[in-house]
Amino acid sequence: MTTSILSRPIHPTGLWAWLTTIDHKRIGILYGVTAFIMFLSGGIEAMYIRLQLAAPEQELVSPEIYSQLFTMHGTTMIFLAIMPMGAAFFNYLIPLQIGARDVAFPRLNAFSYWTFLGGAVMLKSSWFLGGAPNAGWFGYAPITSSAYNPGHGIDFWILSLQILGIASLAAAFNFIVTIINLRAPGMSLMRMPIFTWMTFVTSILLILAFPVITVALIEVMFDRFFGTNFFNVGAGGQPLLWQHLFWVFGHPEVYILILPALGIIAEVIPTFSKKPLFGYPVVVLSGVVIGFMGWMVWSHHMFTVGLGPVANSVFAVTTMAIAVPTGVKIFNYIATMWKGSISLTTSMLYAIGFIFLFVIGGLSGVMHSSAASDAQQQDTYFIVAHLHYVLFGGSIMALGSGIYYWFPKMTGRLMDEKLGKLNFLLVFIGMNVTFFPMHFLGLDGMPRRIYTYDSDMGWNLWNAVSSVGYLILALGVLILIVNIIWSVLSGEKADGDPWDARTLEWSMSSPPPEYNFEHIPIVHGIDPYWEQKREGLSTVPISGGSGDDDSHGIHLPQPSYWPLLASLGLFVSGYGLVYLSSSIGLVVSIIGAAITMVAVYAWSFEPVNDPDEGEGH
C-alpha cells in the first residue's frame, strides 16, 4: 500500500528528530532561533553602516560595499528577522491558544521552515559568492536590470526572495486553515485571543500580497535571464510598474510586520494588568480594518514619482485614515491598564516601551502622509527614523515583550528579571539615541543611502550621536543573548502559569507536552483559562463532551523526511538558477526541481500517519 521510498523517521531525540520534526513547537523554536541569528547578522550589517557614517568623509567601506550593506540590512531585517520571528510565535502559540494538538498541515509547516532556512542561507551566501545584492531592499527598476547591474547579487536577491515567498505562503495557508478549522469547541471567532486574530489577518495579507511580489520578481528575473522587456526602457518599459507592484505588496507587508506585534501586546498587557482587554471587539475590528486598508495606501511610498495631484491627495487621505484604527488600538491598550493592577515585569516594560515608541513612529508616519510636506522628507533620514521607530520601536519591542512573556512556556524556565530590566533599559535608550537624531538629519537634508557626506554639511554631530546609540543598542542585545543562554541553562523553574495569565496556553505544563492538550478543552469566554481559575468555568470537557474522540487516544502526525527534501530541492535549484547562464547552472537547477518534484509526489502519497498502525479504522 505505502509508496514511501524511505521508511518513516522514528527518532524521538537528536539531530534527526529536529530535521524530521513536524511538531509545531519544535518548528516554532527552529524559526525563532534562526530568525534571531539573522537579526544579529542584520545588526552586524547595521554596525558597518553606523561606523562608516559616524564621521564625515570616512572610507571604512567602499561605496559598492555600502550599497550591499544597506540592501542586505533591509532585506535581512524584514524577510529574515522580523517576519520569521513572528512566524516563530505563530507556530509555537497558535495551536496552544486555540486548543489544538498541532497545526492543520504539520508537514507543510516543516516544509515552510526548511524552505525559509534555505532562502535565508542562500541570500546570506551571496556575500561570499561575488557580492551581495546592491539595489536596496526595494530594488527599483531599472537599476536591477543587467544593463546597470551585471553581477549575480541581484539574482541572489530575486531567487532567495522567491524561495522565502514560498515559505511564507506555505506558513500562511497553514495558519489560515488552522485558525478556521482547529479551534476548540466553544472558541467562536469572537472568543479567539487577539494574537490569534492578528495572526489570522496577517496570514490573509500574506497570501494576497506575496503573489504580487512573486510576479514582480518574475518580471525582473525574466528581464535578466531571458532578455524580456518588462523594465526595458528602450522598448517602452515603465519603471513605475515595478514600484506599483512592489508597494502593492510592500505596504501590506508593513502590516504583516506590525500586526503580530500589536497582537503580542494585546496578550501581554491584560495579563500584567490583571484585566481583560478593553474593548475586545473594537481591537479585533481595528486589526481587520488595518489589514483591509493596508491595500489602499501603497502609493504613499510614491508621492514624489509624479502620479499627479489627484492620486497623491487620495493616497494622502487614505493614509491618514489608517491612523484612526491604529490609534484606537493604542487607546484600548492604555485603557486596559487603567484601573488595572500593573506589574512592571520586563515583558510589560517592553510592551509599554512599544506603545511609547510606536506612537512616535505613527505620528511621524502621519507627517509623511501629507504628500506635499513629504516631498521634503521622502528619501531622507527622516524616513529612516520613522521606519525604525515603527519596525524597531514597534515590531522588535513587541517581539522582545513576547520573548520575555512566553519564554517560560517554551523552556520551562523564567528569564532573569534583573538582566531583563537592564536589557530593556539599554535597548530602549540605545534605540532612541540611535534613531531619534535621524529625524534631525532628515529635516536637515541628509538623503538616505549615501555612503558618505562632506564635513561642512552640518550632519556630523547627529551622525556621531546615532553611532554611539548603536553601541548602547548592541550592548542591550548582547545582554538579551546572555540572559537567554543563562536562563535556558539555569533559570528559575517555571510552572505552567507563572504570570497568572488568561489564555489557554497557560493551562498546561511548561514546556507543554508534545500532544499539547490531553483533552481538547471547552471554551466559555474570551479568557478561558482566567475564567477557569477565577470563575470555575472548567475547560476540561465532561467525558465525550468535546469533538475529540478519546477512545482513539491522541492522534499525532508522524515525522517525515519529505518536507525537508522538498525544501532542499528548492534550495538547490535556486543556486542553479542564479548561474543559469552556464550549463552547470542549468543542470543543477533541473536536479533541484527534480528533487522537489519527487519529494512532493512522495509526500502527497504518504499518509499523515503510518498506515501500518491505522488499518483498523
Partner 1 sequence: MWLMGYRIQSKYVVVMAFLFLLVFTGCTPSHHMSTFDTHGPVARSQLVLFYWIFWAAVFVFVTVSIALFYTVLKYRRRSGDPDPPQIHGHTKLEIAWTIIPSIILIVVAVPTVITIFDNANSPEPSALTIEAKGHQWWFEFTYPHPEEPDKKVVTANELHIPVDEVVNVNLESKDVIHSFWIPKIAGKVDMVPNHTNTIWIKADETGEYYGQCAEFCGVAHAKMKFRVIVQTKEQFEAWLKVQALPGLESADPLAVEGRNLFEGDARCWTCHKVEGSKRSRGTTGPNLTHFGSRNHLAAGVIENTQDNLRKWIQDPESIKQGTIMYRDAQVYTDPDKSLTESQVSALVAYLASLD
Partner 2 sequence: MIQMKAKVIKGARILQEAVTTQHGTDHEYTTTGLNHRKLLMWAFLGSDCMFFGSLIATYMVYYGKSKVGPFPEDLFSIPITSVSTFVLLMSSMSMVLAYAAIRKGSLKGFRVWILSTALMGMTFLAFQVFEFYEFANHEVHFDCSQVGTGNLSAFEESFQNECIEGVTTVDGIHDSDGNNLTGLTPKTNLFGTTFFTLTGFHGAHVTLGVIWLLSLFFYSFRGGVTRERDLDVDLAALYWHFVDIVWIVIFTVVYLFGVFPGFPES
In the complex, the residues that contact partner 2 under the rule CB under 8 A are 104-105, 169, 173-174, 176-177, 180-183, 185, 187, 207-212, 214-216, 218-219, 222, 226-230, 235-238, 241, 245, 248, 496, 509, 513-515, 518, 547-549, 552-557, 605, 607-611, 613-617
CB 332 → partner 2: shortest distance, Å?
A: 27
Residue 501 interacting with partner 1 (CB under 8 A): no
Neighbours of 11 (CB within 10 A): 13
Q: Which is nearer to partner 2, 379 or 518 (CB)?
A: 518
Q: How far apart are CA 88 and CA 283, in angstroms?
A: 23
Length of the chain: 617
CB 611 → partner 2: shortest distance, Å?
A: 5
Residue 424 interacting with partner 1 (CB under 8 A): no
If contact means CB under 5 to 8 A according to the sort of partner, which of partner 2, partner 1, none does residue 398 touch? Answer: none
Residue 324 interacting with partner 1 (CB under 8 A): yes
Q: Which is nearer to partner 2, 216 or 328 (CB)?
A: 216
DSSP-derived secondary structure letter, 298: G
If contact means CB under 5 to 8 A according to the sort of partner, which of partner 1, partner 2, none does residue 462 touch? Answer: partner 1
- Size of site (CB under 8 A) for partner 1: 95
Q: How far apart are CA 448 and CA 462, in angstroms?
A: 14
CA dihedral 161→163→164→165, nearest 10 degrees, is: 80
The amino acid that residue 429 corresponds to is I
If contact means CB under 5 to 8 A according to the sort of partner, which of partner 1, partner 2, none does residue 26 touch? Answer: none
Nearest C-alpha neighbor of 132 from the set 81, 84, 62, 85: 62
Q: Which is nearer to partner 1, 140 or 292 (CB)?
A: 140
Contacts of 361 (CB under 8 A, 6+ apart): 386, 387, 388, 389, 390, 393, 394
If contact means CB under 5 to 8 A according to the sort of partner, which of partner 2, partner 1, none does residue 140 touch? Answer: partner 1
If contact means CB under 5 to 8 A according to the sort of partner, which of partner 2, partner 1, none does residue 331 touch? Answer: partner 1
Alpha-carbon distance values, 596 to 7, 159, 565, 581 (Å)? 18, 16, 7, 22
Residue 357 interacting with partner 1 (CB under 8 A): no
Q: How far apart are CA 595 and CA 576, in angstroms?
A: 13
String of contacts with partner 1 for each residue 282-301, x by CB under 8 A: x-------------------
Q: How far apart are CA 45 and CA 40, in angstroms?
A: 9
Residue 363 interacting with partner 1 (CB under 8 A): yes
CB 210 → partner 2: shortest distance, Å?
A: 7
Site for partner 1 in 40-69 (CB under 8 A): 62-64, 67
DSSP-derived secondary structure letter, 152: S
Site for partner 1 in 522-561 (CB under 8 A): 534
CB 546 → partner 2: shortest distance, Å?
A: 8
Task: Report the residue from 42, 106, 237, 592 that binds partner 1 according to the rule CB under 8 A.
Answer: 237
Which window, 24-32, 38-46, 320-328, 503-511, contacts partner 1 (CB under 8 A)?
320-328
DSSP-derived secondary structure letter, 9: P
Q: What are the grid coordinates assigned to 368, written together?
A: 509623511
Which window, 94-102, 170-178, 399-407, 457-465, contacts partner 1 (CB under 8 A)?
457-465
CB 31 → partner 1: shortest distance, Å?
A: 31
Residue 457 interacting with partner 1 (CB under 8 A): yes
* Maximum separation of any 2 CA atoms in the chain, in Å: 82
If contact means CB under 5 to 8 A according to the sort of partner, which of partner 1, partner 2, none does residue 460 touch? Answer: none
DSSP-derived secondary structure letter, 395: I
Which window, 8-16, 107-115, 168-176, 458-466, contacts partner 1 (CB under 8 A)?
458-466
If contact means CB under 5 to 8 A according to the sort of partner, which of partner 1, partner 2, none does residue 275 touch? Answer: partner 1
Q: Which is nearer to partner 2, 105 or 278 (CB)?
A: 105
Q: How far apart are CA 77 and CA 89, in angstroms?
A: 17
If contact means CB under 5 to 8 A according to the sort of partner, which of partner 1, partner 2, none does residue 167 touch? Answer: none
Q: Which is nearer to partner 1, 46 or 166 (CB)?
A: 46
CB 162 → partner 2: shortest distance, Å?
A: 12
Alpha-carbon distance values, 443 to 364, 378, 450 (Å)? 12, 10, 15
DSSP-derived secondary structure letter, 459: -
Contacts of 229 (CB under 8 A, 6+ apart): 223, 235, 236, 237
Residue 131 interacting with partner 1 (CB under 8 A): no
Phi/psi for 458 (5° steps) reads 85, 20
CB 267 → partner 1: shortest distance, Å?
A: 16
**Residue position matching grid coordinates 488552522:** 178
Nearest C-alpha neighbor of 390 from the set 46, 80, 82, 120: 82
Residue 437 interacting with partner 1 (CB under 8 A): yes
Q: How far apart are CA 110 and CA 40, in angstroms?
A: 24
Cis peptide before 541 (omega within 30 of 0): no
If contact means CB under 5 to 8 A according to the sort of partner, which of partner 1, partner 2, none does residue 226 touch? Answer: partner 2
SS3 434: helix
CB 369 → partner 2: shortest distance, Å?
A: 25
Residue 89 interacting with partner 1 (CB under 8 A): no
CB 397 → partner 1: shortest distance, Å?
A: 14
| DSSP string computed for 127-141 | GGTT----STTTT-T
If contact means CB under 5 to 8 A according to the sort of partner, which of partner 1, partner 2, none does residue 364 touch? Answer: partner 1
Task: Report the residue from 264, 355, 431, 480 that binds partner 1 according to the rule CB under 8 A.
Answer: 355
Q: Which is nearer to partner 2, 184 or 473 (CB)?
A: 184
SS3 16: helix
Is the Cβ–Cβ distance between 135 and 74 less than 8 Å?
A: no
The 3-class SS string of 546-614 reads CCCCHHHCCCCCCCCCHHHHHHHHHHHHHHHHHCCCCHHHHHHHHHHHHHHHHHHHHHHHCCCCCHHHC
Residue 381 interacting with partner 1 (CB under 8 A): no
Phi/psi for 447 (5° steps) reads -75, 160
Residue 309 interacting with partner 1 (CB under 8 A): yes
SS3 444: coil
